[in-house]
Amino acid sequence: MIRVIKRVLLSKKAEKDLATVPVHVALKLQNWVEDVEERGVEAVRKIHGYHDEPLKGALKGQRSIRLSKGYRAYYRVVKDAVEFLRVEGVDKHAY
């Protein structure tokens, strides 16, 4: 049985980060959250524009999405009584 994850929560850090990012970055994250809640995370991962990818190294277990050329959001799947996505942070990506 395939579980469709459609719930997204923001961590306190992510909420704080969103207060400092440009408006277009916050809006893109809002659009992503709405897409996930409507279609499910597996369907949204296939949308090329988000560049959803698993992370390596110290952030292994998390995934990132591209909000702009310079900004990324980081999230992970939380398995509790109900599975959901938790956005851990939003920051300017260092190349």
* Span 14-45, pLDDT tens digits: 999 999 999 999 999 999 999 999 999 999 99
Instruction: Give, as one character, the DSSP assignment of residue 19.
Output: T
- Assess whether pLDDT exceeds 80 at residue 95: no
Check residue 49 and give its pLDDT. Answer: 92
How far apart, in whole angstroms, are the C-alpha atoms of residue 95 and residue 83?
32
- For the domain covering 8-92, report its CATH number: 3.30.2310.20
Check residue 84 and give its pLDDT. Answer: 85
Domain assignments of the chain as residue spans, ordered by start: 8-92
Check residue 81 and give its pLDDT. Answer: 67
Q: How far is CA 1 from the centre of its chain?
A: 24
Using 50, 70 and 90 to split pLDDT, how confident is the model at 94? Answer: low
82: three-class secondary structure by DSSP: coil
Whole-model pTM?
A: 0.88
